Amino acid sequence: MRLRCAVLDDYQRVATEVADWSPVADAVDVVVHDTHYPDEDTLAAALADADIVVTLRERVPFPGSLIARLPRLRLIVASGMRNSVIDYAAAEAHGVTVCGTASSSTPPVELTWALLLGLARGIVPEAGGLRAGGPWQQTVGADLHGRRLGLLGLGRIGGRVAQVGLAFGMRVSAWSQNLTRERTDEVGVELAPSKEELLRTADFVSVHLALGERTRGLLGPAELALLKPTAYLVNTSRAAIVDQEALLTTLHEGRIAGAGVDVFDTEPLPADHPMRTAPRLLATPHLGYVSRANYATYYGQAVEAIRAHLAGAPVRRLPVPATPGPASAPA
């Protein structure tokens, strides 16, 4: 009997174009899902006949309750090598193998700078005004050279964002709870003495932390109040790191110059969500990892994982996280 593979959230319908699925074509039928299923009932119905599921990042949670409703499911392939929204214990109990793929840090680095530069130079209002016959020059751009870039997190992505900032001639400082001077010296940036000092002194703040119990709500009302009125905040990491209501209030009250956001508390963002109309906000629909090269890796290695599964020798099995079980919200 042929197997059915469901590819979730392929909004652009490119999964079967950017990778060669012919190695599994003799045994697997690939079904592309280009819409998001908003709740477990509709998702369970859509996946009722799926033997294999390919899912992007942490967009779709797979709690034990969902896995139990999918008796045919035997393999989940998630892009990336870490996923906090899959219940690994439930997967193991129901005979479901969970595998991952490689993922490049380049696309989120590039998108971070697209947002930061777009904010600094008023690209969206200026381009929109030009096309609509509006005023010639509406904004005065913020300079990068000589200004301070504060990074919350200096891992793979944060470190590369720092290097670009240095190339622009920015003064770069970084902070996280476990950040060491050895790491900041390695990257060539300053170690901020505290989170509060970084927020008080930075002209641009960019978030590059993993979401966990220590980082959830890390930037709340008190922290956002520390930012300069001329400062910009960029978050391409996880929405829950920044208190969303506090951010909306800060933007509406004009207490910072602007924010660039690629991640949201609910995705896809509902049509009436206040983030869609917030002032001083440059927002993109979670494009951080969305690039042709990254998709080619995700789906190409998904095919490899399916072939290995068919051969009884799974590859790139995801390690169970320190705190197993699904997170409360997808990323």
Catalytic residues: 238, 267, 286
Torsion of CA 204, 150, 328, 299, to 10 degrees: 80
> Which of 196, 205, 195 minimizes the C-alpha distance to 257?
205
> Which of 107, 104, 43, 85 minimizes the C-alpha distance to 240?
85
Residue 282 in 3-state DSSP?
A: strand
Question: Residues 228, 203: contact at Cβ < 8 Å?
Answer: yes
How does strand 232-235 pair with strand 171-175? Answer: unpaired
Helical (H) or strand (E) element with 148: strand 148-152
Residue with the two structure tokens 């990491």: 237
What's the CA gap between 237 and 108, in Å, rounded? Answer: 9
How far does Cα 4 stand from its chain's mean position?
A: 28
What's the CA gap between 165 and 193, in Å, rounded? Answer: 20
Where on the phi/psi map is residue 60: left (φ > 0), alpha (ψ -120 to 50), or beta? beta
Q: What sign for the dihedral angle of Cα 144, 146, 150, 154?
A: positive
Residue 75 in 3-state DSSP?
A: strand
> Which whole-number Å values give the CA distances from 318 to 42, 83, 314, in the listed order?
26, 8, 10
Question: Residues 49, 330: contact at Cβ < 8 Å?
Answer: no
How far does Cα 218 stand from its chain's mean position?
A: 17
